[in-house]
Amino acid sequence: MKNFNQSVWQVTKKIPKGKVATYAMLARKIGKPKSARAVGNALNKNPFAPIVPCHRVIRSDGSIGGFASGTNKKIKLLKKEGILIRGTKVLSLEKFLVRL
């Protein structure tokens, strides 16, 4: 852990399949609860696309947020893992949220 970005990727990488985490949550985990925005930036530029499950990271209100390859793609992936989604938002968020 050296750069902020690396920390983000390392934590994101640990999110189990079928679960999701929020930007704020990850920010808190790395010791910077106010850096949710910066976390989003890190994921957007993440060079470990296939290694880091960036599609399992969503907003605190349950919105999908965004995705480098397209929001639609992100939704599809999450649904595939068992996450229930309606439009651009996650249903039963608390049920899929992984506690860090």
User: Which residues of this protein are in contact with DNA, per CB under 7 A?
Assistant: 3-5, 22-24, 32, 34-46, 54-55, 57, 59-61, 63, 65-68
Q: Are 92 and 21 in contact (CB under 8 A)?
A: no
Q: At what angle do helices 36-44 and 4-12 cross, to 10 degrees?
A: 80
Q: Is 53 helix (H, G, I), strand (E, B) or coil?
A: coil
Minimum Å gap between C-beta 17 and DNA is: 16
The catalytic residue positions are 54
Q: Smaller CB distance to DNA: residue 3 or 18? A: 3
- Nearest distance in Å: CB 77, DNA: 11
